Structure 1
């Protein structure tokens, strides 16, 4: 091939490359702030999530916290009494799972929902959860419909507390830009929460981006978490001592207030003199 032909091919390739829009397939997502300090008084915080995506694409964003193990009890009725009949530990479940979109989720095909882990019933979480139930002296692993009651109850509790959420049409679009505000509850799971954004157009994912929101314990919260994980015996000892101290303080306050209340009632009723008086006698 001659040098002239090679030059022509290079020019054609450059023209074609420059003719492709610069935004094609580009998705970016960031959080502000990207770090949240959790202390004793933490009651929740709003986080701004924004980014860019191809115009005319639908945006789907999910926030997934680290997985945790959750203990649950199932109650049953014996006569007129409700009692715990079994216990279960749900393994490998995110402590927080939030989904936001700029379009209805029903526009996503079932296959695409599974691929993205985005649906209204948190099926992606259900599929990965491991449930071990103990009833009496027997322990078994529940699968499929066997563990549905436990997961339904758990998701219901998490949705009420704001840890699990699906909000459609919550993402604002303006050209290439998108934006949403996420309200994290006070019980937000600590650790590095993944923020994953998908751009979908004509039933296909045209771009994706990932960032991290670091929810960090500080102060006493950090000490408690670190000690519980690395020094279980020390943590248990401190917990017992704190419980004993709290009990003694409450007992002291109760008796103190009880005595003050008794004195006040006695004065009001006039059964006792308001102050102690000494009586002197003389012998003649």
Structure 2
């Protein structure tokens, strides 16, 4: 793996340096792995992004997970019992989000670019499904959504660093926790000068279940009724077996 990365960086640096001025590609980047396999006992994974740039500028990387609808609920104590009293659903919400940068985001890209490209948690397109909801209420639930995601490690709480070597080569490491959802993640790399994007590149990262755990997961979701019956049968059989062993030992 390390040899592949070093070879890529060497070739990228050489190509950028040898290309004619008008034909130069300002940014070349890749991932150490394009597939993260979730197997039994998966505890998370680190993905290394590396690349090379030509000329002066700053680098920003965003990693966005598959988008889903997320419902945030507010609880209150009613008659001594906690109950859901209000809920807001946000459509097309990133299941995972992380951002890395060579400098503080406000020093790297203009506010307009950060907003359009969803650079920074505060710029994520988190819109309530109900367009009629009160803006103040939407803001409160939006903050709750981000807080919940950060609490379980699915939204990075801070901007991750990008290491730059020799003013040309760069790398950053993105951690995917054990509770990441499966699907295709989008890794976007931006090369910026004077607050404006000079070049951008996107590459997919696939997170997929593999092995017997994946087979069980697919069976459970595709045949929920049969899976439930099978689970009950296994539980009953295990109980009978334990009782039989107990009688024999006794």
TM-score range, shorter chain: 0.7 to 0.9
1:195 pairs with 2:187:
yes
Bigger CA radius of gyration: 1
Cα shift at 1:176:
1.6
User: Paired residue for 2:136?
Assistant: 145
In 2, Cα distance between the equivalents of 1:215 and 1:196?
16
Task: Describe the shift of the 1:256–1:154 C-alpha distance in structure 2 as closer, same or farther (beyond 3 A).
Answer: farther
Q: Note if contact 2:220-2:227 (Cα within 8 Å) is conserved in structure 1.
A: no
CA contact (8 A) 2:100 2:162 kept: yes
Partner residue in 1 for 2:146: 155
**Does the 8 Å contact 1:62/1:197 carry over to 2?**
yes
**Is contact 1:199-1:207 (8 Å) kept?**
yes
With over 3 angstroms needed to count, the CA separation of the structure-2 counterparts of 1:76 and 1:180, relative to structure 1, is same
TM superposition shift of 1:156: 1.2
Residue 248 of structure 1 is matched in structure 2 by: 236
- 1:115 aligned onto 2:116: yes
1:82, distance to aligned residue in structure 2 (A): 1.8
Distance 1:168-1:97 versus aligned 2 partners, 3 A rule: closer
Q: CA deviation at 1:249?
A: 6.0
Alignment of 1:18-37 (within 5 A): 20=21, 23=24, 26-37=26-37
Q: Which residue of 1 aligns with 2:75?
A: 75
Q: Which residue of 2 aligns with 1:272?
A: none
| CA–CA distance in structure 1, aligned partners of residues 169 and 20 of structure 2 | 22
Specify every segment of 5 or more residues in structure 1 that has no aligned partner in the other structure, as ranges. Answer: 1-17, 133-139, 264-284
| Partner SS for 2:124 | helix
Q: CA, structure 1 residues 256+104, in 2 after alignment: closer, same or farther (shift >3 Å)? A: farther
Contact conserved, 2:153 with 2:177, CA < 8 A, in 1? yes
CA RMSD of aligned residues (A): 3.1
Cα displacement (A) at 1:119: 2.1
CA pair 38-141 structure 1, distance change in 2 beyond 3 A: farther
* 1:179 and 2:171 correspond: yes
Off by >6 Å, runs of 4+ in structure 1: 253-259
- Evaluate the alpha carbon distance shift between residue 215 and residue 64 of structure 1 in structure 2; reply closer, same or farther with a 3 A threshold: same
SS in 2 for 1:164: coil
Q: Which residue of 2 aligns with 1:50?
A: 50
Question: TM-score if structure 1 supplies the norm length?
Answer: 0.69
Is the CA contact 2:187–2:203 (under 8 Å) kept in the aligned structure 1? yes
Distance 2:29 2:230 in 1: 47
Rounded Cα–Cα distance in structure 2 between residues aligned with 1:69 and 1:257: 48
